[in-house]
């Protein structure tokens, strides 16, 4: 493997870990998804208006 191949693998891996980390952070901080108090969102009636029990 050349150094360029290794650098590409590292960059893609870091980007993937950052994306997964951002998703987890948003879930933990309740800033995304249903039930988050997104009344200002134009799609809130589609996801937060339903109460499935």
Q: Where are the domains of the chain?
A: 3-47
- Cβ burial, residue 36 (10 Å; 0-12/13-18/19+): middle
Written as tens digits, the pLDDT of the chain (53 aa) is 899 999 999 999 999 999 999 888 877 776 555 555 666 666 666 665 455 44
CA distance 48 to 35: 6
Question: Given this model, what pLDDT does residue 6 score?
Answer: 96
The pTM of the full predicted model, rounded to 2 decimals, is 0.54
């Amino acid at each position: 493997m050349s150094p360029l191949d290794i650098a590409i693998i590292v960059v893609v891996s870091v980007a993937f870990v950052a994306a997964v980390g951002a998703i987890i952070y948003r879930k933990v901080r309740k800033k995304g998804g249903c039930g988050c108090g997104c009344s200002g969102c134009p799609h809130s009636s589609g996801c937060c208006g339903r109460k499935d029990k």
